[in-house]
Structure 1
């Protein structure tokens, strides 16, 4: 009996630990919008920052936990000046998204995922069940941190401190 419980516990935990190192083709082809309302693919966004480490913050202006995490994100921005801070909003209202950026004084690169939090190939790839969600991509486009939900998570600084 104990063996069966242990077996299922290990099986459950191993299935729930996601650590992909690259984005799926579907996720890369998903679209976002720039702050100027131009449509752009996730792949094109990531290519803009190729050669730099990218901290991705998936957030929304209505998300209390996202707002609570902003001071930690801003501290990371002060400490890691060479890192690109890429904010992907899952707001479904562009005006609310833009207002949130201004209201909370969020500095960085901003895009909106127009399908929101519950649909779209990019959010499906992330298996997005909760925001904020933090992902870190290295200079070559490899995902080096796939799933952090607190900006104060020590794993974020660990990967930001690593050099190629």
Structure 2
């Protein structure tokens, strides 16, 4: 009888699970989340996208304290060399703006830089289901999300899309 109960629970669990769809566009909350620019101004993610309209964007969510993020930087630089027409947007989860700016300089990170003041659990972080950094996304010239999640800059999916 116990075996039948376990089988029944398993079958019901499988049937009740919904496959999670990969988003192709950002939620209003994510678009309205605000970031800090290098000069200290506030900017929404929507404004970042509008400033890069008609461009392919590689988003890199990182932090200067993150060993995996720093280890992945040479791979990002290789992407930048191979795909010069792509815009590289770096969203930092550093603990302070000072640490963020020092990290950009220390690791010579080239691209557009924004500080994620709302952090992991803010509207943007929640929307992208942020559970690990580095985190890479590719946004197409049409503004749609072409790649929702990669954790390695040399992921074959990134290379194919770019």
Q: Whose radius of gyration is greater, 1 or 2? A: 2
Runs of 4+ in 1 over 2 A off after TM superposition: 1-15
Secondary structure of 1:14's counterpart equals: coil
Alpha carbons of structure 1 residues 95 and 155: separation in structure 2 relative to 1, 3 Å: same
Alpha carbons of structure 1 residues 24 and 4: separation in structure 2 relative to 1, 3 Å: same
Q: Which runs of 5+ in 1 are unaligned?
A: none
Secondary structure of 2:161's counterpart equals: helix
Q: Deviations over 1:82-112 (max 9, x none)?
A: 0000000011300000000000000011001
Report the counterpart of residue 14 of structure 1 in structure 2.
19
Distance 2:37 2:50 in 1: 15
1:61 touches 1:97 (CA, 8 Å); kept in 2? yes
Which of the numbers 149, 152, 155 marks the counterpart of 2:151? 149
What is the number of equivalent residue pairs in this alignment?
A: 157
TM-score normalised to the size of structure 2?
Answer: 0.89
TM-score normalised to the size of structure 1?
Answer: 0.88
